[in-house]
Structure 1
Amino acid sequence: MTQNDKRRGNKGGRPLKEVRKNIILTFKCSAFEKMIIAQKAKELSLNISEYIRQMSVNGKVDQQVKIFPAEVLALSGTLNHIAANINQVAKKRNKDEDLSMLERVDLQNLVPMLKGIAEEIKNYLR
Protein backbone atom coordinates (compact mmCIF):
# COMPACT_ATOMS: atom_id res chain seq x y z
CA MET A 1 0.00 0.00 0.00
CA THR A 2 1.49 3.32 -1.03
CA GLN A 3 1.48 6.53 0.94
CA ASN A 4 -1.28 7.96 -1.27
CA ASP A 5 -3.45 4.89 -0.63
CA LYS A 6 -3.04 5.23 3.13
CA ARG A 7 -3.90 8.92 3.09
CA ARG A 8 -7.00 8.52 0.93
CA GLY A 9 -8.19 5.31 2.51
CA ASN A 10 -7.66 3.37 -0.75
CA LYS A 11 -10.94 4.67 -2.16
CA GLY A 12 -9.64 4.76 -5.70
CA GLY A 13 -10.64 7.65 -7.91
CA ARG A 14 -8.49 10.14 -9.69
CA PRO A 15 -4.78 9.84 -8.89
CA LEU A 16 -3.19 12.67 -6.95
CA LYS A 17 -1.13 15.16 -8.92
CA GLU A 18 2.60 15.31 -8.27
CA VAL A 19 2.54 19.10 -7.97
CA ARG A 20 -0.68 20.44 -6.51
CA LYS A 21 -1.78 23.96 -7.34
CA ASN A 22 -3.40 24.79 -4.03
CA ILE A 23 -1.99 28.26 -3.30
CA ILE A 24 -4.25 31.17 -4.17
CA LEU A 25 -2.77 34.49 -5.24
CA THR A 26 -4.90 37.56 -5.68
CA PHE A 27 -4.16 40.90 -7.29
CA LYS A 28 -6.09 43.99 -8.18
CA CYS A 29 -6.71 45.30 -11.66
CA SER A 30 -9.25 47.51 -13.36
CA ALA A 31 -12.28 46.16 -15.19
CA PHE A 32 -10.64 47.15 -18.48
CA GLU A 33 -7.44 45.26 -17.60
CA LYS A 34 -9.45 42.20 -16.59
CA MET A 35 -11.28 42.32 -19.92
CA ILE A 36 -7.96 42.48 -21.81
CA ILE A 37 -6.49 39.59 -19.80
CA ALA A 38 -9.61 37.49 -20.33
CA GLN A 39 -9.60 38.19 -24.06
CA LYS A 40 -5.92 37.27 -24.45
CA ALA A 41 -6.45 34.06 -22.47
CA LYS A 42 -9.46 33.17 -24.62
CA GLU A 43 -7.50 33.76 -27.83
CA LEU A 44 -4.95 31.18 -26.62
CA SER A 45 -7.64 28.75 -25.44
CA LEU A 46 -6.49 29.08 -21.82
CA ASN A 47 -8.34 29.96 -18.68
CA ILE A 48 -7.33 33.19 -16.94
CA SER A 49 -5.40 31.42 -14.17
CA GLU A 50 -3.27 29.44 -16.61
CA TYR A 51 -2.63 32.51 -18.76
CA ILE A 52 -1.50 34.62 -15.79
CA ARG A 53 0.58 31.73 -14.38
CA GLN A 54 2.46 31.24 -17.66
CA MET A 55 2.99 34.97 -18.17
CA SER A 56 4.30 35.40 -14.62
CA VAL A 57 6.64 32.41 -14.61
CA ASN A 58 7.85 32.40 -18.23
CA GLY A 59 7.26 35.97 -19.36
CA LYS A 60 5.41 34.56 -22.35
CA VAL A 61 2.65 32.09 -23.15
CA ASP A 62 3.30 29.00 -25.22
CA GLN A 63 0.61 28.94 -27.87
CA GLN A 64 -1.30 25.70 -27.76
CA VAL A 65 -3.98 26.49 -30.30
CA LYS A 66 -5.09 23.22 -31.83
CA ILE A 67 -6.32 23.48 -35.38
CA PHE A 68 -7.58 20.22 -36.80
CA PRO A 69 -7.52 19.60 -40.55
CA ALA A 70 -10.87 19.37 -42.30
CA GLU A 71 -10.28 15.66 -42.92
CA VAL A 72 -9.98 14.97 -39.19
CA LEU A 73 -13.17 16.90 -38.47
CA ALA A 74 -15.00 15.02 -41.22
CA LEU A 75 -13.72 11.71 -39.88
CA SER A 76 -14.89 12.61 -36.39
CA GLY A 77 -18.35 13.47 -37.68
CA THR A 78 -18.60 10.23 -39.62
CA LEU A 79 -17.52 8.18 -36.61
CA ASN A 80 -20.09 9.95 -34.42
CA HIS A 81 -22.79 9.16 -37.00
CA ILE A 82 -21.78 5.50 -37.11
CA ALA A 83 -21.66 5.30 -33.32
CA ALA A 84 -25.19 6.70 -33.08
CA ASN A 85 -26.46 4.12 -35.58
CA ILE A 86 -24.79 1.26 -33.74
CA ASN A 87 -26.23 2.51 -30.46
CA GLN A 88 -29.75 2.51 -31.93
CA VAL A 89 -29.28 -1.04 -33.20
CA ALA A 90 -27.99 -2.19 -29.81
CA LYS A 91 -31.00 -0.68 -28.05
CA LYS A 92 -33.41 -2.45 -30.39
CA ARG A 93 -31.61 -5.76 -30.10
CA ASN A 94 -31.54 -5.49 -26.29
CA LYS A 95 -35.33 -5.04 -26.36
CA ASP A 96 -35.63 -8.12 -28.62
CA GLU A 97 -37.05 -6.00 -31.43
CA ASP A 98 -36.36 -6.93 -35.03
CA LEU A 99 -34.65 -4.49 -37.33
CA SER A 100 -36.59 -3.04 -40.23
CA MET A 101 -35.40 -3.56 -43.77
CA LEU A 102 -34.22 0.06 -43.95
CA GLU A 103 -32.17 -0.38 -40.75
CA ARG A 104 -30.60 -3.56 -42.13
CA VAL A 105 -29.62 -1.72 -45.32
CA ASP A 106 -28.12 1.11 -43.26
CA LEU A 107 -26.06 -1.41 -41.30
CA GLN A 108 -24.84 -3.06 -44.50
CA ASN A 109 -23.76 0.37 -45.76
CA LEU A 110 -21.88 1.12 -42.54
CA VAL A 111 -19.53 -1.84 -42.89
CA PRO A 112 -17.75 -0.57 -46.04
CA MET A 113 -17.66 2.93 -44.54
CA LEU A 114 -15.90 1.60 -41.44
CA LYS A 115 -13.45 -0.38 -43.56
CA GLY A 116 -12.75 2.73 -45.65
CA ILE A 117 -12.12 4.83 -42.54
CA ALA A 118 -9.76 2.18 -41.17
CA GLU A 119 -7.89 2.15 -44.49
CA GLU A 120 -7.62 5.97 -44.54
CA ILE A 121 -6.18 5.94 -41.03
CA LYS A 122 -3.63 3.28 -42.01
CA ASN A 123 -2.60 5.26 -45.09
CA TYR A 124 -2.32 8.47 -43.10
CA LEU A 125 -0.10 6.86 -40.46
CA ARG A 126 2.31 5.37 -43.04
Structure 2
Amino acid sequence: MAKKRIRDKEVKFFVTAAELELIDKKAEVAELDRSKYCRQMTLDGLIIKQDFKQVDDLVYVVNKIGNNINQIARRANEVEYVSLDDIKYLKKQLEGIYSQIERFYDGG
Protein backbone atom coordinates (compact mmCIF):
# COMPACT_ATOMS: atom_id res chain seq x y z
CA MET A 1 0.00 0.00 0.00
CA ALA A 2 1.29 3.47 -0.93
CA LYS A 3 2.40 5.74 1.86
CA LYS A 4 0.21 8.85 2.23
CA ARG A 5 2.07 12.15 1.79
CA ILE A 6 2.24 14.55 4.71
CA ARG A 7 2.59 17.45 2.30
CA ASP A 8 -0.21 16.87 -0.17
CA LYS A 9 -0.56 20.38 -1.63
CA GLU A 10 1.52 21.40 -4.62
CA VAL A 11 2.84 24.94 -5.13
CA LYS A 12 4.21 26.00 -8.50
CA PHE A 13 6.02 29.12 -9.66
CA PHE A 14 8.12 30.01 -12.66
CA VAL A 15 11.74 31.14 -12.70
CA THR A 16 14.32 31.91 -15.35
CA ALA A 17 17.23 29.58 -16.01
CA ALA A 18 19.55 31.97 -14.17
CA GLU A 19 17.21 32.13 -11.16
CA LEU A 20 16.95 28.34 -11.06
CA GLU A 21 20.73 28.05 -11.15
CA LEU A 22 21.01 30.50 -8.25
CA ILE A 23 18.35 28.62 -6.25
CA ASP A 24 20.20 25.36 -6.83
CA LYS A 25 23.52 26.89 -5.73
CA LYS A 26 21.98 28.28 -2.56
CA ALA A 27 20.27 24.95 -1.85
CA GLU A 28 23.60 23.18 -2.29
CA VAL A 29 25.34 25.56 0.13
CA ALA A 30 22.51 24.96 2.63
CA GLU A 31 22.92 21.22 2.05
CA LEU A 32 19.25 20.86 1.10
CA ASP A 33 17.52 19.65 -2.01
CA ARG A 34 15.72 22.27 -4.07
CA SER A 35 12.28 21.43 -2.67
CA LYS A 36 13.40 21.59 0.96
CA TYR A 37 15.35 24.80 0.33
CA CYS A 38 12.41 26.54 -1.35
CA ARG A 39 10.02 25.39 1.37
CA GLN A 40 12.39 26.54 4.13
CA MET A 41 12.97 29.94 2.51
CA THR A 42 9.25 30.40 1.90
CA LEU A 43 8.34 29.60 5.49
CA ASP A 44 11.29 31.07 7.38
CA GLY A 45 13.10 33.30 4.88
CA LEU A 46 13.68 36.99 5.41
CA ILE A 47 12.11 39.61 3.16
CA ILE A 48 13.44 43.14 3.52
CA LYS A 49 11.06 45.92 2.61
CA GLN A 50 12.59 49.35 2.57
CA ASP A 51 10.39 52.29 3.47
CA PHE A 52 11.80 55.65 2.45
CA LYS A 53 8.91 57.77 3.78
CA GLN A 54 11.09 59.13 6.59
CA VAL A 55 13.81 60.08 4.13
CA ASP A 56 11.23 61.77 1.89
CA ASP A 57 9.88 63.67 4.91
CA LEU A 58 13.39 64.72 5.88
CA VAL A 59 14.17 65.94 2.36
CA TYR A 60 10.93 67.95 2.38
CA VAL A 61 11.83 69.60 5.71
CA VAL A 62 15.37 70.39 4.56
CA ASN A 63 14.08 71.93 1.32
CA LYS A 64 11.57 73.99 3.28
CA ILE A 65 14.29 75.30 5.56
CA GLY A 66 16.50 76.06 2.56
CA ASN A 67 13.73 78.21 1.13
CA ASN A 68 13.34 80.00 4.47
CA ILE A 69 17.07 80.67 4.68
CA ASN A 70 17.02 82.12 1.17
CA GLN A 71 14.13 84.42 2.08
CA ILE A 72 15.89 85.60 5.24
CA ALA A 73 19.16 86.12 3.34
CA ARG A 74 17.31 88.14 0.68
CA ARG A 75 15.70 90.27 3.38
CA ALA A 76 19.04 90.73 5.16
CA ASN A 77 20.63 91.91 1.91
CA GLU A 78 17.79 94.34 1.27
CA VAL A 79 17.65 95.95 4.72
CA GLU A 80 21.03 94.82 6.08
CA TYR A 81 19.29 93.46 9.18
CA VAL A 82 18.18 90.02 10.44
CA SER A 83 15.75 89.95 13.33
CA LEU A 84 16.07 87.77 16.40
CA ASP A 85 12.71 86.22 15.47
CA ASP A 86 14.15 85.14 12.10
CA ILE A 87 17.09 83.48 13.84
CA LYS A 88 14.78 81.78 16.38
CA TYR A 89 12.59 80.53 13.54
CA LEU A 90 15.57 79.01 11.73
CA LYS A 91 16.79 77.43 14.96
CA LYS A 92 13.36 75.83 15.48
CA GLN A 93 13.42 74.51 11.92
CA LEU A 94 16.88 73.02 12.42
CA GLU A 95 15.71 71.32 15.61
CA GLY A 96 12.97 69.76 13.48
CA ILE A 97 15.60 68.38 11.12
CA TYR A 98 17.63 66.98 14.00
CA SER A 99 14.49 65.36 15.39
CA GLN A 100 13.71 63.77 12.01
CA ILE A 101 17.27 62.47 11.69
CA GLU A 102 17.17 60.97 15.19
CA ARG A 103 13.87 59.21 14.44
CA PHE A 104 15.29 57.91 11.18
CA TYR A 105 18.35 56.42 12.85
CA ASP A 106 16.31 55.05 15.76
CA GLY A 107 14.22 53.07 13.30
CA GLY A 108 11.10 55.11 13.13
TM-score of the alignment, normalized to the shorter chain, above 0.5:
no
Structure showing greater Rg: 2
Output the TM-score relative to the length of structure 1: 0.34
Output the TM-score relative to the length of structure 2: 0.38
More helix by share: 2
